[in-house]
Amino acid sequence: MTQAPTPNETLSRKRPSLKERLAANIFLRFIKELAPYRGIMVIAICLTLCLAALSLPPPKIIGYLTDHLSDKALQKHSPVNLPGVFAILLGVAVFSAFFSFWLAYTLNYLGQRFKHDMRRKLYAHMQSLSTGFFEKSQTGKLMSTITNDVSALDQLVSGSLSTIVQDIATLGVVFIMLFRQSASLASVALIVYPFYILNYKLFIKHIKSTHHDMREVRDEMYGDLQEKLSGAMVVKSYAKERHEIRQFIGETRSILGLNIRIGAMSTALWTIAEVIGALGTALLLWWGGRLVIKGTLTPGDLMAFYGYIVGYLYGPTLRLIQINDQVARANAALWRIFRTLDTQPLVRDMPGVPPLPPIKGDVHFEKVWFEYEPGQPVIHGIDLEVKAGEMVAFVGQSGSGKTTMINLLQRNYDVTGGRITLDGHDLREVQLKTIRRQIGVVIQETLLFNTSLRENIRYGRLEATDEEVEPAAKAANIAHVIEALPLGYDTKIGEDGIKLSGGEKQRVAIARAILSDPRILVLDEATSSLDSETESLIQGALDNLMEGRTSFVIAHRLSTIIQANKIVVMEKGIIREMGSHAELLALDGYYAALYNQQFKVALDAAA
């Protein structure tokens, strides 16, 4: 799936689709991508041309031997330079081996460099894209683009391109040689060429289309596979293993069917091409035999002609047709790669904007409007002023706009109307990375990496020393847990911190935020997954962390936000109530009803 279209993309419904635009110039763009490697490519082309030239003498030598070793030629005591023939063939073999080695080495180097650089470019571009792109894209599909699609191009660069260059060069030289030797015989050999073209056109469109279909189905499979393997606990909890197996088999069966279809079409294309080549060979021998009988052509010339036609005219033509499958596969991969590279971030720096200087933490939402989809606003003209060091809590039902307000503050999205300022600086008028460096985030769905606890905490500030990591862990009240482990801070925690409990993962994330030392702190349901005992352990750490910092807290448990300077009650994208805990209770409105309901539930549970 791709990112939602930008306003420029929706100006005209008559504009061609991205896929149509790419189809027109996809290989031109591919050539441009190869431009940085022009030096290596020139070397590869020179080596290829040398190999093509070295492949030309053998048919001539066979023709020479045919004429000079016949009974008639021997009776005339025609001199036969067998040592010379031996020396030429040996020289051709040695030089061919030399050039083949260096060509293989050069192409492998080119392919590996291209694959490395393209993956780096794709990954770097993905990192620059906005949050919305990743919300609309399955991780498995993105991984498939970086791995499988780039690998398909590597095969094209390191294999097919060399074959194409060598065969085209060989065809050009052989055409000239054959017409100089016998124009009539060359014309007979070329009679079948239109059939090659018709055969190619008959199949290639369907092969390319099926390759695109297969890539789509395969990426769906990769996306589902990544989701289901990551959610293995959910699958097992609901005993849905058989369902997932059936679904996976269905997807692989679709891929199987498409692969069989591609194989059948490619085989048919190749087989028909071989029949056409056999027809051309038969015509050549029939007409060439007539010329030999007439005495206008020697048997040796016919054998040489036959060698060039079969090995150097029909052979390269058949190879060029055969690699259509690889080219079609590369075409599908190129389309997907360029589609990703053409996706532009919804949020980006304007040219020449300065970095955000160190801030105190004053935040102002000024008549802020926002809509994910055009014409469907989810934030309606909100005004909210927060002084440096204040704690602000957002309260409201799901979908009321709490998380959207935090996303706008982090500039994961740009406001549709109005503006947001930090210490008077409009977020859109300063560098994005300098905004996020001064905002620390602890979210409900804590993400930890499959590395050591030390490195997970250090992710908040990569240059931090061990002496700085450990105090952060102590401040988050997780140090005693870490130090009790056999490897301590060097303990690897598995994918997404699977070896830790939910509360421990949250405290590691809080330690990470403490280490980053942000001026603004965002806690999005940061204590929702903790039991009461664990919550009390870290609440003091959170209080210390928030001291002197501007803090924004989203919490359903109102007991965690009683001390907030401002509690903002949101409903359907507007601020319904705002004030301190005591002020909102005095209003006896929505917040008071919600608080009393939670208080009653807590009392009932205690009873």
Q: Say if 360 falls within a structural domain.
A: yes
The answer on pLDDT for 79 being more than 60 is yes
pLDDT tens per residue, range 249-285 = 888 888 888 889 888 888 888 788 888 888 888 888 8
Query: What confidence tier does 527 reach under pLDDT thresholds 50, 70, 90?
Result: low
Half-sphere exposure (CA, 13 Å, Cβ side) for 214?
A: 25
493, 454 Cβ separation under 8 angstroms: no
Give me 416's structure tokens.
């549709």
Burial 433-457 (b: 16+ CB within 10 A, else e): ebbebbbbbbbbebebeeebbbbbb
pLDDT tens per residue, range 339-386 = 888 888 888 888 899 999 999 999 999 999 999 888 899 999 999 999
349 burial class (0-12, 13-18, 19+ CB within 10 angstroms)?
middle
CA distance 310 to 317: 10
Q: Which residue has the tokens 């020179």?
A: 46
- Check residue 538 and give its pLDDT: 64
Give me 33's structure tokens.
């991508």
The answer on pLDDT for 607 being more than 80 is no
Query: What confidence tier does 247 reach under pLDDT thresholds 50, 70, 90?
Result: confident
Q: Say if 63 falls within a structural domain.
A: yes
Do 584 and 607 belong together in one domain? Answer: yes
- Check residue 604 and give its pLDDT: 47
Do 85 and 172 belong together in one domain? Answer: yes
Q: What is the mean pLDDT of residues 427-456?
A: 86
Q: Please tell me which residue, 401 or 183, carries the higher pLDDT value.
A: 401
Do 101 and 146 belong together in one domain? Answer: yes
Q: Say if 285 falls within a structural domain.
A: yes
Please state the domain count of the chain: 3
Do 159 and 177 belong together in one domain? Answer: yes
The answer on pLDDT for 9 being more than 70 is no
The answer on pLDDT for 231 being more than 80 is no
Q: Which residues constitute the domain of residue 28?
A: 18-342
pLDDT tens per residue, range 25-49 = 777 788 888 889 889 888 988 888 8
The answer on pLDDT for 4 being more than 60 is no
Q: Say if 396 falls within a structural domain.
A: yes
Q: What is the mean pLDDT of residues 538-549?
A: 73
397, 590 Cβ separation under 8 angstroms: no
* H helical segments located in 378-531: 402-409, 432-436, 453-458, 466-475, 479-483, 502-516
Would you say the pTM of this structure is higher than 0.85?
A: no
Do 493 and 511 belong together in one domain? Answer: yes
Do 504 and 375 belong together in one domain? Answer: no
Q: Which helix (H) or strand (E) holds 381?
A: strand 376-386
Q: Say if 154 falls within a structural domain.
A: yes
Do 401 and 449 belong together in one domain? Answer: no
**Measured CA distances, 251 to 221, 247, 248, 258, 482 (Å):** 6, 6, 5, 11, 43
- Check residue 353 and give its pLDDT: 92
Residue 217: CATH number of its domain: 1.20.1560.10
Closest CA to 379 of 361, 367, 392: 367
Q: Which of 342, 370, 404 is the C-terminal boundary of a domain?
A: 342
Contact partners, residue 65, CB within 8 Å, separation at least 6 = 80, 85, 300
Q: Say if 540 falls within a structural domain.
A: no
Do 477 and 604 belong together in one domain? Answer: no
Query: What confidence tier does 531 reach under pLDDT thresholds 50, 70, 90?
Result: low
